[in-house]
Structure 1
């Protein structure tokens, strides 16, 4: 991988109205328990372009999406973005309240974003594919 500087890579993100509402509630509730991660999520939600749920393109990472991404060190991962109560790293279900989960929300295929891990190291990831969950009608 090249040595490009990705210190402030913050692409436009899109979030559906329902996810935006629920994630704001989650982040506000977490301010007393996980203030840094809650602040990071609130920042992402604040800068997001909000669309009606029906208008969100299918290649956008939403809650429940399965995401294939590559990190700056070349590793590829497949995860599903979930609420904290449903998180299980052993099965690839990562919480929105993790640095990677917060970084992924609202990205579309081909976009890259920089983020800080819990040990405050700077990283970058690129979304390679997004699969939306099957919704029961």
Structure 2
């Protein structure tokens, strides 16, 4: 008899209204160039609780947040700022929302983790340690 492991449900997320609109537009514009990221971002926006900008708790990953997280596949701890594509500079610690990791961090809180695909198509668990607003 074969047993199937149930896929882990993604944790609940929250997104600011203005971020949801702008990121949604970016994802739609990027569908041809970055189909996987665009699809994942649009799915995340659709499942998120979209809140008024002023109502987003300070410990939720939003645009411009500085996020300390662990890639549980490698135990690598990283601290990055989530930014729009034009401000992205991985050398300076700024990661684009249109990157796979950036898209996976959006809306999470410390203690939450999400199983998220990497560039090779493998699922990796990203666990949020700390969130600071810029």
Q: Decide whether aligned partners of structure 1 residues 9 and 100 sit closer, same or farther in structure 2, where only a CA change above 3 A counts.
A: farther
Are the aligned partners of 1:62 and 1:105 in contact in 2 as well (CA < 8 Å)?
yes
Q: Which runs of 5+ in 2 are unaligned?
A: none
Per the alignment, residue 12 of structure 2 pairs with 12
Q: Decide whether aligned partners of structure 1 residues 127 and 64 sit closer, same or farther in structure 2, where only a CA change above 3 A counts.
A: same
Whether 1:93 and 2:111 are equivalent positions in the alignment is: no
Per the alignment, residue 31 of structure 2 pairs with 31
Q: Which runs of 5+ in 1 are unaligned?
A: none
Are the aligned partners of 1:6 and 1:114 in contact in 2 as well (CA < 8 Å)?
no
Q: Deviations over 1:5-45 (max 9, x none)?
A: 89534100000101001001100111121111101110111
Per the alignment, residue 71 of structure 2 pairs with 71
Are the aligned partners of 1:112 and 1:124 in contact in 2 as well (CA < 8 Å)?
yes
Off by >4 Å, runs of 4+ in structure 1? none
Task: Tell me how far apart the structure 2 counterparts of residues 79 and 9 of structure 1 sit (CA, whole Å).
Answer: 25
Per the alignment, residue 47 of structure 2 pairs with 47
Kindly report the root-mean-square deviation, in angstroms, between the aligned alpha carbons of the 2 structures.
1.4
TM-score by length of 2: 0.92
